[in-house]
Structure 1
Amino acid sequence: MKPISQDNPWGVVGNSRMVATGHPLAAQAAARMLREGGSAIDAAIAADAVLGVVEPMATGIGGDVLAMVVPPGEAPLSYNGTGRAPAQFSLDALDRLPGRRIPERHVFSVTVPGVVRGWHDLHSRFGRLPWQRLFQAAIQAARGGFPVAPVAAREWALFEPVLRLDPVSAALYRADALPRAGETFANPELAAVLEAIANEGPDAFYLGAPAVAAERAVQQRGGALAQADFAGHSGHFAPPASARFRGLTVLECPPNTHGIAVLHALQALDALSLDPADPATTVAMVEHMGRAMQHAKETVADPAGNTVCTVVVDDSGLAVTLMSSIFKRFGSGIAAPGCGFVLQNRGFGFSQPGHINGPGPGKRPYHTVVPAAVLKDGAFHAGLGVVGGAMQPQGHVQLITRLAAWGQPLQAAIDAPRWRLEADRALALETGMPPEVAAALRAAGYHEPQGLGELGGRSDFGGAQVVLRDPAGRLIGGSDPRKDGMALAV
């Protein structure tokens, strides 16, 4: 991890337009949209499309999208673009699985992708530029190739075994000759699909060849995903859930996400002094976070990892935090033949049958993606997201506490070492955690995690992207050194 910048612990400063996202090519695509007169939504979609090309282990058109939108002078909105289980999903099929739970990389874990429809819904409401224009940078990167970034290359190699679960994925993502950092990787199949989406709209995806290919890939493995599931997909706008913390209003996405865990933890912490010099403060943060996450696991479900994040503010004051994901690295590992993308494995988020979050036909699973925003005196103050599955709400609480309660500079707050609860009392501590804080946490009964899933013992401490407005009205952008991204004033 890169160290805190002693010269500029605050972040990138700008006056009217700011981008923070997970890859330089995505930042450049977003900046180009803003310079051409596009809205924050246009810029965020362009960046997200690029991220699906350059970080295929994290996101893509086979995944879901959620967003938090703060229009100037209007009520904020969340957008839920999460997909559902297949309509023909059978609970009887779970009888042969251990504990009747859907495994991480199983064909039953595949849910309908929501990204493309979500992009279109957001653009229809808040876009300024022509739809076709938003995808040119992503198409160019996919067709012409791009240099693989260092963090992406490391994760590509780490999750090579996932690619080998499916011969189409193995060939598509070069399992036999994994691209190293700096090497060029191209995905012409994905370029063709993105070009069709740009020219024909979302129906090119939901009614076209990708739906046919996905059905074939899933059903030949015994799954139920069908073209009709693609055709029937829809997302929706909804008012955010909110809570007060240190005089600010924190906005999170409502269920089926675990954004409410952030709000429950912050409400409990707001009553405490939260002295940053006292190790007991961090112990309290971990304890309240654990209770909030347990409550979410027991209550979050459809009300009707791995992720990427982009935060953009445009010259009108429109702000968006947009996050997309295929869940675990390389999702289900099942690729849509000839289309250049893998399908997500969000069905792993279901609990056992009978639980409020139990699986069912057409049902949305518990979802870890939680784009957020913060209001001050009713107006936009910050947009933020922290990628990394269960790290997301934990990252929100740590970042918001550092910024709102401790008054830390933005980039310093992002760079600071983090903790991550991986199970009840299993707590991973990032290198650089102050020794007295680590001692207090271990004395409180939190032990180092071991053997807990794919990342057990080598925890993912997330990757934050943040844009905030300071008291002088300037925009400050921060991007996490744990990822390949950057903040860019436009």
Structure 2
Amino acid sequence: MPPPTPSISPCVIGERAMVATGHPLAAEAAARALAEGGSAVDAAIAADAVLGVVEPMATGIGGDLLAMVVPPGAEPQAYNGTGRSPQDFLPSLVSAFPRGKLPERHVLTATVPGVVRGWHDLHQQHGRLPWQRLFQDAIRVANQGFPVAPVAAREWALFQPVIARDPVAAALYRAHAVPSAGERFANPELGAVLQAVANEGPDAFYLGEPARAAERASDTLGGVLKAQDFARHTGHFAAPLRANFRGLEVLECPPNTHGLAVLHTLQALDALDLDPHDPLTTVAMVDRMGHAMAHAKKVVADPAGNTVCTVVVDSDGLAITLMSSVFKRFGSGIGVPGCGFVLQNRGFGFSEPGHLNGPGPGKRPYHTVVPGAALRGGVFHAGFGVVGGAMQPQGHVQILTRVAAWGEPLQAAIDAPRWRLEGERALAIEAGTPPAIEQALRAAGYTEPTGQGELGGRSDFGGAQVVMRAPDGRLIGGSDRRKDGMALAC
């Protein structure tokens, strides 16, 4: 992936409310929801629904959802909307594969999608607008079409082989001639499903034709995902995990995500000087991050992927970081006939049989999506997320270090070159990293990644969305130039 262009402005500043999300159409949808009296949660759902239309390689109703909600004057909540493996997903199905590990793209990696139920659960607790209103923008964009954004177009072309393998996905996403940047693309099949969800609620998805069509798609390829698995799906709210770092209380989602790797790393770093001018500081950050991620693999599950993130703070002070994902680009690559989406491939996150995170029926696999937030003095300070599979916890650590420990402006911290651990000692270093830091990392034994899956040699350094409360009470929004998004004051 190319490095981001230099920051041309410090950040977006807002007095009342702020949105940071991965696409201008999603930002506009969120802003309209806020203008009509909607809550931050309403706005985030409206934005996320649009993202599932305009970034189909990253997210959609065939994927999962997690969120971090910080209500004013109340305890923060983590929401886990991740789906489970099918009831017929037995360990014996996986044992025949090399090392007992499923391939990245396989019908057995399909797990139940959690996005639609997640939208509903969040709206039930924190929504103000009517449910139907939340999907108007997404339905319009799906039916009328939209110009494909530059980063999305690049990824669409890069992962064309994924959609080309499946006839439904190939026809839906135009594998014969993927849309280029600026070219118009529409998905009326998805528009119809979203309309049914708007009219009838989540049961239109989990008890309706999408669930039955997903079963047919799975059956055709020898899979075990059934409509009854959709009917069983539930999400839940939970208390976030917490750790202190440089005057902040950082909040991460509990397992089955690897959010605890962020907290373990920050706790280890908080005891260090973290001199920004010393290249060995970066070496220490990578070392601690590697230890924390290795620990997470043992006690949570197994990591990699693509995701979208929306952060919204409304005029009442309600804040949400909402992230959804189909995992790898275009998920499993298996299209659901007549419904306009692909199934996710989260089952690739299972470890070998016998591991804590080993395959089994009705299990949630290790999950890379980690929406985060931070408190200062017990009140909301920031909401943040960094898309990009295993880059997510690493991005949290790098941005929080730059902002909280080094005092960098938000947009500069987002735009700064990053590093990404892709294996135990395999470290990708983004272009623009100071030579002294790169030399120190290589001297410490971290080598250039090669052959690390689909992105080996062209590492994904993620895409961050952040909204932060300034000391004077105003809101600061930052959006990553590695993606197509924007921050918007409302």
Alignment TM-score, normalising by the size of structure 1: 0.98
Please give the per-residue CA displacement for 1:172-220, whole angstroms capped at 9, x wherever unaligned: 0000011000000000100000000000000000000000000000122
- State whether residues 95 and 101 of structure 2, in contact with CA within 8 Å, keep that contact through their aligned partners in structure 1: no
Superposed displacement of residue 253, structure 1: 0.2
Superposed displacement of residue 301, structure 1: 4.4
Alignment map for 1:141-290 (pairs within 5 Å): 141-290=141-290
Q: Which residue of 2 aligns with 1:47?
A: 47
Amino acid at match of 1:281: T
- State whether residues 19 and 310 of structure 2, in contact with CA within 8 Å, keep that contact through their aligned partners in structure 1: yes
Percent identical among aligned pairs is 75
Counterparts of 1:106 and 1:164, CA distance in 2: 14
Alignment map for 1:280-429 (pairs within 5 Å): 280-301=280-301, 305-429=305-429
Please give the per-residue CA displacement for 1:390-446, whole angstroms capped at 9, x wherever unaligned: 000000000000000000000000000000000011000000000000000000000
Amino acid at match of 1:196: A
Counterparts of 2:410 and 2:276, CA distance in 1: 16
Counterparts of 2:89 and 2:426, CA distance in 1: 34
Q: Which residue of 1 aligns with 2:103?
A: 103
* CA RMSD after TM alignment: 0.8
Amino acid at match of 1:327: F
Q: Which residue of 1 aligns with 2:485?
A: 485
- State whether residues 265 and 292 of structure 1, in contact with CA within 8 Å, keep that contact through their aligned partners in structure 2: yes
Query: Tell me, what secondary structure is at the counterpart of 1:454?
Result: helix
Amino acid at match of 2:218: V
Give the unaligned 5+ runs of structure 2: none
Superposed displacement of residue 91, structure 1: 1.6
Amino acid at match of 2:383: G
Alignment map for 1:51-62 (pairs within 5 Å): 51-62=51-62
Alignment map for 1:99-138 (pairs within 5 Å): 99-138=99-138
Counterparts of 2:236 and 2:397, CA distance in 1: 26
Amino acid at match of 1:444: A
Counterparts of 2:405 and 2:245, CA distance in 1: 8
Counterparts of 2:150 and 2:107, CA distance in 1: 30
Please give the per-residue CA displacement for 1:297-352, whole angstroms capped at 9, x wherever unaligned: 000049xx110000000010000000000000000000110000000000000000
- State whether residues 84 and 363 of structure 1, in contact with CA within 8 Å, keep that contact through their aligned partners in structure 2: yes
- State whether residues 301 and 364 of structure 1, in contact with CA within 8 Å, keep that contact through their aligned partners in structure 2: no
Q: Which residue of 1 aligns with 2:5?
A: 3
Please give the per-residue CA displacement for 1:276-317, whole angstroms capped at 9, x wherever unaligned: 000010000000000000000000049xx1100000000100
- State whether residues 90 and 359 of structure 2, in contact with CA within 8 Å, keep that contact through their aligned partners in structure 1: no
Superposed displacement of residue 2, structure 1: 4.1
Distance 1:434 1:43, change over 3 A: same
Counterparts of 1:69 and 1:348, CA distance in 2: 28
Which ranges of 4 or more aligned residues in structure 1 deviate by more than 4 Å?
A: none
- State whether residues 309 and 324 of structure 1, in contact with CA within 8 Å, keep that contact through their aligned partners in structure 2: yes
Counterparts of 1:307 and 1:266, CA distance in 2: 23
How many residues were matched structurally? 486
Give the unaligned 5+ runs of structure 1: none
Superposed displacement of residue 88, structure 1: 1.2
Counterparts of 1:288 and 1:108, CA distance in 2: 34
Amino acid at match of 2:5: P
- State whether residues 4 and 411 of structure 1, in contact with CA within 8 Å, keep that contact through their aligned partners in structure 2: no
Query: Tell me, what secondary structure is at the counterpart of 1:392?
Result: helix
